[in-house]
Amino acid sequence: HHVQLQSEALKEWKQHIEPKKNDIESIKKDIVSHTLETLCRNPYNLDKMAVYQATAHAVRDRLLEDWNLTQEAIHQQNPKRCYYLSMEFLIGRALDNALHCLEVKDAYKQSVKDLGFSLEDLLEQERDAALGNGGLGRLAACYMDAAATLDYPTWGYGLRYQYGIFKQIINNEGYQTEVPDYWLNADGNPWEFPRSDIKYEVQFYGYVATKVNEKGESRMSWEGGDKVQAMAYDVPIPGYDTKGCGNIRLWSAKSLKTFDFASFNDGDYDRSVADQKNAENLTSVLYPNDNHNVGKELRLKQEYFFVSASLQDIIYRFKHTNAAWKEFPDKVAVQLNDTHPTLAIPELQRILVDIEGLEWDDAWDIVTRVFAFTNHTVLPEALECWSVPMMEKILPRHMQIVYDINLFFLQKFEKVFQNDRGLLNRVSIIEESNPQQVRMAYLAVVGSHTVNGVAALHSELIKTELFSEFIKYYGPEKFINITNGITPRRWLYQANPALRELITETLGSKKWVTHLDELKNLKKYAEDKSFQKKWIDVKLQNKTRLADWIKTHLDISVDPHALFDIQVKRIHEYKRQFMNILSVIYRYKNIQLLSAEERKELTPRVVIFGGKSAPGYYIAKMVIKLITTVAQVVNNDDSIDNLLKVVYIPDYNVSLAEIIVPASDISQHISTAGTEASGTSNMKFVLNGGLILGTVDGANIEIRDEIGEENIFMFGTLSDKVADIRHHQKYHGVPMDPNLQVVLHAIQAGEFGGFETASVFGPLINTLTYGGDYYLISADFEQYLDAHDKVDALFKDKTTWAKKSILCTAGMGFFSADRATREYADKIWNLKPFTIEKK
């Protein structure tokens, strides 16, 4: 680090800086001066992007006041801090969110209007910060919002990918194609602060030697290899109703001029220049897999780069307080968001033993009191494993340390469970395959003091299946549940202005925005006719907003009075979008058979899909193709009297979710029981008064318990029955549901896209037949269709529907990210809020 200078004069002058003002005249001046000075644009040379940028800079100045206050307060109070390590932060747009959190949106709207622009237009200029795949990354963003709002001294750490999750294009043939998301385009990103003074070196490759340290002790030392530089970028995270402001520190890889030519490149100059470019590749792209692990070398390097830089930064800050190492766990909590940052465990152990000279056991005691681990999935294909030879090459010292961690763990384990070789093999951090693999989830369990699942059922499955052998040793207390939560700021206050106003007016205050339990006071209006009318009107407004979007962007006309049935999430076999579209085909064929009289009785439906498939996930891509093909046929069939429309919304992302979520009558969360750890969009839809059609899985179960089982449509095989059915189907074939059979025949007969297209769907259909129907689509199909019938019937009864919808919103207090974050702080981090003024 560079020399830190102190200036008394600067300290003195700091007192004279006037706080920014929020009146319209001041805001206009701020925007204009940013236009002229920050952007060097003039009134003859403006566009919406420039005015957006100027407005964003004006808002960010206000955020920064809070940011600086916060850092000062935390510095002075020196509380225990928590660091949330996550390879993904799916933030979305920042401007609208900041305007709402600072409660200056109206003033800005007027100011921008006075200057000749529309704020809504400007908001549309912003690119999403899409540094995540799906639920896991969005969860991290929601928790940062909550931590900032609750004044927890919590920072996020992540990677500053130059390319976020790809942009999805649905081509003319109805297939997904991918376009890179270069979100840090030439316009620049006003929401990040480059910290050129905060840089660390990160090492790769090399070898391990023994060295004698200052105390004369012999220690291992990691020598040679490659070095890459990590530079910090800070992203301020506004809190609501507080002067506090949170932070996510993202690392960007830069090449180092001081390259280790001697030991690695051996004077090979041109190669070393090429390697410098390679250094920057480290943080160029987010891996676009959701719930799927690929085991690529570059990914391992990203993970280590991330944890190395973050730990160096955390330790630098800790050392600044002159505390002794044994106090580290009292000052620092680190949460590992899934196994992606698990290398932090051997990395901290390495720093403490090799560099700081602590004894192994003392170091290990510190490590295991600092880290806690959140597991987000039980799907085997998602569990990270790294091949031992790869780790040995890239991180030779860490591999040794992992072996030692494993050895000491197994030795202790063996004392308790003697003479059970099989058991030792099953709990070993090293899998004895060829090549051997490091089981990262096991390493995370052994190196953490607490392991949590993300919904009640999921946390049970962790104990009974994933980590069942570990319970025998650690006891059950180490494994806890913290059900996921979502931020009510973005997902109701910001995304649903009409409902926000109705709720605030009805409850008489905005307390609900930070105390979501207050929503329960809506229950008493559930049967109030005039309230129901307003409630229904809000929903209609939001459906109209979405219908307009669909008309403008996709040129499909949908009737806002029809039932909006929505499934938006990553495309995955376990999420069963396939089952959904098969039921749509069933509905379509049924409508064709109905008489004019019968058709009058049917509820018109708009079935909306959205979501990205991993680029290499063939079956998921076929599901998209099937949906778009069915949409083509159905939407162009004039004979069905607009009773059915099918819409595929391309490039589903956070910004689109903000328009889609408030517009659902029904949303579908229909994973095979036991596969969806929690789901979080289920919470968003219900919070906005949408009913759920779902399976008995993930957080659906707790949503049911909170809102009442009469207010949710649930169906399907229970999780404890799934394994038996799979086993049976594997050996005795899949009993094909008769209605499903009809649907599959229709596809095979070329009713959707002709014979040539039908052959494209062959492999997809085979997953149900020869493939053994692993996700139980056939087994659940009848119950699924029955549930749809119930939805249709109930939708005709507007009053009952409105009542249920109100009770949905009213029952969602528990699912606030504030509650979840408090649980982490109380049960895992032992963290208290710091003191700062309220707004």
Task: Provide CB contacts within 8 A for 144, sequence distance 6+.
Answer: 84, 89, 154, 156, 237, 246, 248
Q: Which residues pair with 486 in a beta bridge?
A: 816
Stretch that binds ligand CRA, among 258-266, 375-383, 469-477, 613-621 (CB under 6 A): 375-383
**Quick one: which of 95, 112, 429, 454 contacts ligand CRA (CB under 6 A)?**
454
Judged by CB, which is closer to ligand CRA: 54, or 139?
A: 139
Judged by CB, which is closer to ligand CRA: 778, or 821?
A: 821
Under rule CB under 6 A, residue 132 binds ligand CRA: no
Under rule CB under 6 A, residue 156 binds ligand CRA: no
Helices 618-635 and 577-593: crossing angle in degrees, nearest 10, is: 20
Residue 504's alpha-carbon distances to 31, 488, 501, 516, 522, in angstroms, are 31, 13, 5, 12, 10
Nearest Cα residue to 354 out of 480, 492, 240, 209: 209
Stretch that binds ligand CRA, among 652-660, 671-679, 800-808, 821-829 (CB under 6 A): 671-679
Task: Provide CB contacts within 8 A for 218, sequence distance 6+.
Answer: 210, 211, 212
Known active-site residue 570? yes
Per-residue contact track with ligand CRA, 478 to 517, x per CB under 6 A?
------x---------------------------------
Under rule CB under 6 A, residue 820 binds ligand CRA: no
Half-sphere exposure of 548 (CA within 13 A, CB side): 7
Judged by CB, which is closer to ligand CRA: 204, or 652?
A: 652
Residue 43 DSSP class: T
Residue 427 DSSP class: H
Active-site residue (options: 160, 575, 587, 625): 575
Residue type for position 16 = H
Q: Hey, is 379 helix, strand or coil?
A: coil
Judged by CB, which is closer to ligand CRA: 338, or 706?
A: 338
Under rule CB under 6 A, residue 676 binds ligand CRA: yes
Residue 19's alpha-carbon distances to 39, 66, 448, 494, 714, in angstroms, are 22, 10, 44, 26, 53
**Quick one: which of 97, 189, 377, 514 contacts ligand CRA (CB under 6 A)?**
377
Helices 396-416 and 360-370: crossing angle in degrees, nearest 10, is: 90
Active-site residue (options: 628, 675, 680, 695): 680
Closest distance to ligand CRA from the beta carbon of 579 (Å): 17
Under rule CB under 6 A, residue 382 binds ligand CRA: yes
Task: Provide CB contacts within 8 A for 465, sequence distance 6+.
Answer: 378
Nearest Cα residue to 373 out of 442, 438, 474, 311: 442
Residue 654 Ramachandran class (φ > 0 left, ψ -120 to 50 alpha, else beta): alpha
Stretch that binds ligand CRA, among 134-142, 349-357, 507-515, 526-534 (CB under 6 A): 134-142
Closest distance to ligand CRA from the beta carbon of 470 (Å): 19
Closest distance to ligand CRA from the beta carbon of 672 (Å): 12
Under rule CB under 6 A, residue 651 binds ligand CRA: no
Under rule CB under 6 A, residue 453 binds ligand CRA: no
Nearest Cα residue to 183 out of 128, 144, 138: 128
Known active-site residue 575? yes
Q: Hey, is 700 helix, strand or coil?
A: helix
Q: How far, in whole angstroms, is CA 520 from its chain's centroid?
A: 27
Stretch that binds ligand CRA, among 44-52, 135-143, 257-265, 721-729 (CB under 6 A): 135-143
Under rule CB under 6 A, residue 439 binds ligand CRA: no
Judged by CB, which is closer to ligand CRA: 679, or 690?
A: 679
Known active-site residue 684? yes
Under rule CB under 6 A, residue 623 binds ligand CRA: no
Under rule CB under 6 A, residue 768 binds ligand CRA: no
Under rule CB under 6 A, residue 142 binds ligand CRA: no
The whole-angstrom separation of Cα 320 and Cα 776 is 56
Active-site residue (options: 34, 41, 62, 570): 570
Residue 10's alpha-carbon distances to 5, 15, 234, 787, in angstroms, are 11, 9, 23, 68
Active-site residue (options: 100, 463, 612, 684): 684
Of residues 288-347, those binding ligand CRA (CB under 6 A): 290-291, 338
Burial 171-202 (b: 16+ CB within 10 A, else e): eeebbbeeeebebbeeeebbbbbeeeebbbeb
Q: What tokens were used for 809?
A: 């919103």
Closest distance to ligand CRA from the beta carbon of 375 (Å): 8
Stretch that binds ligand CRA, among 24-32, 145-153, 214-222, 678-686 (CB under 6 A): 678-686
Stretch that binds ligand CRA, among 115-123, 651-659, 673-681, 811-819 (CB under 6 A): 673-681
Judged by CB, which is closer to ligand CRA: 337, or 729?
A: 337
Residue 683's alpha-carbon distances to 126, 134, 692, 733, in angstroms, are 26, 14, 9, 36
DSSP H or E segment with residue 157 = strand 154-159
**Quick one: which of 59, 94, 101, 135 contacts ligand CRA (CB under 6 A)?**
135
Under rule CB under 6 A, residue 573 binds ligand CRA: no
Task: Provide CB contacts within 8 A for 693, sequence distance 6+.
Answer: 565, 666, 667, 668, 669, 670, 713, 715, 787, 788, 791
Active-site residue (options: 60, 105, 376, 489): 376
Residue 612 DSSP class: P
Closest distance to ligand CRA from the beta carbon of 323 (Å): 33
**Quick one: which of 34, 167, 227, 376 contacts ligand CRA (CB under 6 A)?**
376
Known active-site residue 569? yes
> Among all residues, whose Cβ is closest to ligand CRA?
135
Q: What tokens were used for 453?
A: 């699942």
Judged by CB, which is closer to ligand CRA: 687, or 807?
A: 687
Match 């106003």 to its residue by tokens.
Answer: 501
Stretch that binds ligand CRA, among 376-384, 460-468, 514-522, 748-756 (CB under 6 A): 376-384
**Quick one: which of 677, 701, 776, 812 contacts ligand CRA (CB under 6 A)?**
677
Stretch that binds ligand CRA, among 362-370, 418-426, 531-539, 676-684 (CB under 6 A): 676-684
Known active-site residue 732? no
Of residues 680-739, those binding ligand CRA (CB under 6 A): 680, 698
Q: What tokens were used for 462?
A: 């962790």
Of residues 262-291, those binding ligand CRA (CB under 6 A): 290-291
The whole-angstrom separation of Cα 381 and Cα 616 is 14
Stretch that binds ligand CRA, among 38-46, 131-139, 206-214, 520-528 (CB under 6 A): 131-139
Under rule CB under 6 A, residue 679 binds ligand CRA: yes
Under rule CB under 6 A, residue 406 binds ligand CRA: no
Q: Which residues pair with 715 in a beta bridge?
A: 695
Under rule CB under 6 A, residue 461 binds ligand CRA: no
Q: How many residues does the chain have?
A: 839
Closest distance to ligand CRA from the beta carbon of 287 (Å): 11
Known active-site residue 490? no
**Quick one: which of 58, 85, 136, 812 contacts ligand CRA (CB under 6 A)?**
136
Nearest Cα residue to 85 out of 345, 262, 322, 293: 345
Nearest Cα residue to 681 out of 702, 661, 706, 703: 661
Cβ-defined contacts of 388-391 (< 8 Å, 24+): 388/430, 388/435, 388/436, 388/437, 388/438, 389/435, 390/297, 390/300, 391/300, 391/438
| Catalytic positions, written as ranges | 376, 569-570, 575, 680, 684
Binding site for ligand CRA (CB under 6 A): 134-136, 139, 290-291, 338, 376-377, 382, 454, 484, 676-680, 698
